[in-house]
Structure 1
Amino acid sequence: MRDPVFSTRMTALLGIRHPILCGGLQWLADANYVAAVVNAGAMGFITCMSFPGEPERFRQEIRRCRMLTQGKPFGVSVSIGRRPDIVEILTPMLDVIVQEQVRIVETSGNNPAWLLPRLKDAGCIVIHKVPAVRYALSAERLGVDAVTVISGEAGGHTGQYMNSQIVQGPLAADAVRIPLALGGGMGDGRHLVTALAMGADAMLLGSRMVVAEEIWAHRAYKDHIARMDESFTRVIMSTFGKQHRVLDNATARQVADLEAAGVSDFDAYRPLAQGALVRQAYLDGDHSQGLIDMGPAGVFAREIQPVETIIDQLIDTAAAAMRSLNDRMRPVACQVSP
Structure 2
Amino acid sequence: MTGTVDWRDTPLSRLLGSRLPIMATGLQWLANAEYVAAAVNSGMMGFITAASFVDASELRDEIQRCRELLSGRAFGVNVSMLPKLLPGDRTEATMTLIMDERIGFVETSGRDPSPYVAALQASGCRVVHKVPQLRHALTAEAAGVDAVILVGAECGGHPGESPVGSLVQGALAARALTIPFAIGGGIATGGQVVAALAMGAAGVAIGTRFLVADEIPAHAQYKQRLIEAQAGDTTLILSSVRNSMRVLRNDTTARVQMLEGDGVNDIQQLLPHVRGTLGKAAYESGDWRQGALSAGQGVGLMRCTAPLVEIVAELEYEADAALARLGCGSAAV
Shift in Å at residue 185 of structure 1?
A: 0.9
- What is aligned with 1:93? 94
Paired residue type of 2:175: D
Q: In structure 2, what is the Cα distance between the partners aligned to 1:87 and 1:18?
A: 37
Aligned CA distance change for structure 1 residues 228 and 267 (closer, same or farther; 3 Å): same
Structure 2 Cα separation of the partners of residues 88 and 290 of structure 1: 23
> Which structure 2 residues correspond to residues 1-338 of structure 1 after superposition, within 5 A?
5-52=7-54, 54-82=55-83, 84-85=85-86, 88-326=89-327
Q: Which runs of 5+ in 1 are unaligned?
A: 328-338
Partners of 2:169 and 2:183 within 8 A in 1: no
Q: CA deviation at 1:86?
A: 6.2
For normalisation by structure 1, the TM-score amounts to 0.93
For residues 127 and 86 of structure 1, do their structure 2 counterparts lie closer, same or farther at Cα, with a shift above 3 Å needed?
farther
Deviates more, 1:68-77 or 1:27-36: 68-77
SS of equivalent residue, structure 2 residue 162: coil
**SS of alignment partner, residue 210 of structure 1:** helix
Q: Partner amino acid for 2:21?
A: P
| 3-state SS of paired residue (2:327) | helix
Residues 121-158 of structure 1, C-alpha deviations (whole Å, 9 max, x = no match)? 21210000000101000000000000000011111011
Structure 1 counterpart SS, 2:212 = coil
Query: Which amino acid in structure 1 is aligned with residue 312 of structure 2?
Result: I
Quickly say closer, same or farther: Cα 1:103–1:273, change in 2 above 3 A.
same
The whole-number CA distance in structure 2 between the counterparts of 1:321 and 1:83 is 42
The 8 Å contact of residues 29 and 52 in structure 2, kept in 1 or not, is answered as yes
By how many angstroms is 1:83 displaced? 5.6
Say if 1:168 and 1:82 are closer, same or farther in 2 by CA, change over 3 A.
closer
The amino acid across from 1:185 in the alignment is G
Cα contact 1:209–1:301 (8 A) shared by 2: no
Measure, in 1, the Cα distance between the counterparts of 2:267 and 2:130. Answer: 26
Q: Distance in 1 between matches of 2:215 and 2:298?
A: 19
**Deviation for aligned residue 1:84:** 4.0
Counterpart Cα distance in 2 of 1:140 and 1:288: 40
Structure 2 unaligned regions, length at least 5:
1-5, 329-333
Give the Cα separation in 1 of the matches to 2:87 and 2:221.
Answer: 34
1:333: which partner in 2?
A: none
Q: How far 1:6 moved relative to its partner?
A: 2.0
8 Å CA contact 1:80–1:86 kept in 2: the answer is no
| Residues 172-220 of structure 1: CA deviation (Å, up to 9, x unaligned) | 1111100110000101101100100110000110111100000001111
Which protein is bigger by CA-based radius of gyration? 1
Q: Which moved more, 1:139-148 or 1:237-246?
A: 237-246
Following TM superposition, by how much is the alpha carbon of 1:306 offset from its aligned partner in structure 2, in angstroms?
A: 0.3
- Given that 1:210 and 1:301 are in contact with CA atoms closer than 8 Å, whether structure 2 keeps it comes out as no
1:241 CA drift (Å) = 2.3
SS at match of 2:150: strand
RMSD of aligned C-alpha atoms? Answer: 1.5
Contact 1:45/1:105 (<8 A) preserved? yes
What is the DSSP-based 3-state SS (H/G/I as helix, E as strand, rest coil) of the residue aligned with 2:77?
A: strand
Distance 1:142 1:94 in 2: 16
Question: When the two structures are superposed, what TM-score results if normalisation uses the length of structure 2?
Answer: 0.94
Equivalenced residue count is 324
Query: What are the superposed Cα offsets for residues 67-92 of structure 1, whole Å, 9 maximum, x if unpaired?
Result: 11122211110111136436741222
C-alpha distance after superposition, 1:92-134 (max 9, x if no partner): 2222211111011110011112222321221210000000101
Identity between Structure 1 and Structure 2 (%) = 42
> After superposition, what is the alpha-carbon deviation per residue over 1:210-265, rounded to whole angstroms, capped at 9, x for unaligned?
00000001111011111111111001112122321101010011011011112223
